[in-house]
Structure 1
Amino acid sequence: MMRYAEPGTVEWVESGGGPLIAVPETVLPFWAGADGEETASDYDRACEVDGLLGLLPVGDAAALVLGDEPAATAFLPEQGTLVRWVAGDSEAELLGCVPAALHTARWQSEVHWKVPGTVLLFDAAWPGRHSGATDHVRLTLDPGRYAVRAARVQPGPETWLILVQLRPLP
C-alpha cells in the first residue's frame, strides 16, 4: 500500500463552488470561463455537465469537466487517478484509501478523451489564459487517447471520495 507521509504531500485544487475543468495547455486561450459576451459562457457549458464527468469541445481539442461536487481534487500520477475529497478526517487517511478503493469501485460508463499532452486542472469559471495565476494542478499526460471513468466510493464510515481514472488506450 502506498503511504503519504505528511499533509501537503500532493497538490490540491479547489473551485469557488462550480466544476473543475482539465484543459489541454495547447487550447487554454480558447477557454473563456465565465467571461465572454455569449449568452452561455464556457463556465455555463461546464455547469450543464450532468454527472461526475463529461467532455466539452475547446478549440480543436476537448476539456474534461469534473461535475457533481465542487470537491478539492488532486492528481495521483502513479495511479493515473484524480482523487476528489468529498469527506474525510485527514489527507493521509483519504489518500491511504485510494489503492483499495480503485479495486472495489463501481465505475460509471467511461468516455474517451483525446489529449494532445499536458493539461491544467482549474476552476471552470477562470479564463484559460489566467489559469496559471490561480489555483491549478498540472497533469503531465502523454499525448494520446484515454479511457476516463469515475466512481463515488465510501472506503470508511466517515470517508467519501470520487475517483476519476485516466487509462491510456492503445
Structure 2
Amino acid sequence: MVRYAEPCTAEWVESGGGPLIAVPETVLPFWTGADGEETASDYDRACEVDGLVGLLPVGDAAALVLGDEPAATAFLPEHGTFVRWVAGHAEAELLASVPAALQAARWQAEVHWNVPGTVVLFDAAWPGAHSTGTGHVRLTLTPGRYAVRAAQAQPGPETWLILVQLRPLP
C-alpha cells in the first residue's frame, strides 16, 4: 500500500503495470495470478478485460477487475467507491474532488457482482495466497448483490480519476 500524504487519509494500492483485482477472501487460494500453469494465466485473463471494469470467475465466486489504467487505487467506503488516481498533484485535492466527480460522472453500463463478504484488492499478477504479502487492502463488504458502475472524470484542469462505484441491490 502506498501513502501519498501525511497524515494519510486513504490507503492506496498500486500495480506493477497491469490491472488490480478485488477477489473475495473465500476464493483467494484459487487466484493464481501470473503463476498459472495453463496456457493463459489468471493474470492474462484479467489483462483481457476490456474497459474500466469486468468480472472473472474465481472458484465459486467472481472477482472484480479494475482495468484500463494501472492507477493507484483507494476505496472510499463513505461513497462506496474505488477512486483510481490517474493524474493530480496532491491526495487531499484529489479526494476533495470526489463528491463533485460522482455527481458529474457519465457512468458506463453497470455489471452485477455477487459478493460473499470481505474482498481483497491487490495487483492481479500476484497469486491470491500471497496477496496479503504485497500492497493490498481488505474491504469488508456486506454479502449480497452489487451494481458496479464506472466512469472517467476530470474534476479539475490537472486532476483526472476513474470512479468505480459499488451499490447494493435489493
C-alpha distance in 2, partners of 1:101/1:129?
Answer: 35
Structure 2 portions without partners, runs of 5+: none
C-alpha distance in 1, partners of 2:7/2:152?
Answer: 23
C-alpha displacement of 1:8:
1.7
1:124 equivalent in structure 2: 124
1:12 equivalent in structure 2: 12
C-alpha displacement of 1:114:
0.1
Contact between 1:149 and 1:164, CA under 8 Å: does it hold in 2?
yes
C-alpha distance in 1, partners of 2:14/2:127?
Answer: 15
C-alpha distance in 2, partners of 1:72/1:141?
Answer: 21
1:140 equivalent in structure 2: 140
C-alpha distance in 1, partners of 2:76/2:135?
Answer: 17
C-alpha displacement of 1:7:
4.8
Contact between 1:7 and 1:92, CA under 8 Å: does it hold in 2?
no
Q: Which letter does structure 2 place at the counterpart of 1:66?
A: L
C-alpha distance in 2, partners of 1:94/1:7?
Answer: 15
Matches within 5 A, 1:1-170: 6-170=6-170
C-alpha displacement of 1:46:
0.1
SS at match of 2:146: strand
C-alpha distance in 2, partners of 1:102/1:75?
Answer: 14
Q: Which letter does structure 2 place at the counterpart of 1:163?
A: L
C-alpha distance in 2, partners of 1:51/1:119?
Answer: 21
C-alpha displacement of 1:65:
0.1
With the length of structure 2 as denominator, give the TM-score of the two structures.
0.96
% identical aligned pairs: 87
Structure 1 portions without partners, runs of 5+: none
With the length of structure 1 as denominator, give the TM-score of the two structures.
0.96
Contact between 1:81 and 1:163, CA under 8 Å: does it hold in 2?
yes
C-alpha distance in 1, partners of 2:7/2:39?
Answer: 42
C-alpha distance in 2, partners of 1:19/1:27?
Answer: 18
C-alpha distance in 1, partners of 2:156/2:104?
Answer: 13
* CA-to-aligned-CA distance 1:3-36 (integer Å, 9 cap, x gap): xx94521100000000000000000000000002
C-alpha distance in 1, partners of 2:56/2:32?
Answer: 13
SS at match of 2:33: coil
CA RMSD of aligned residues (A): 0.9
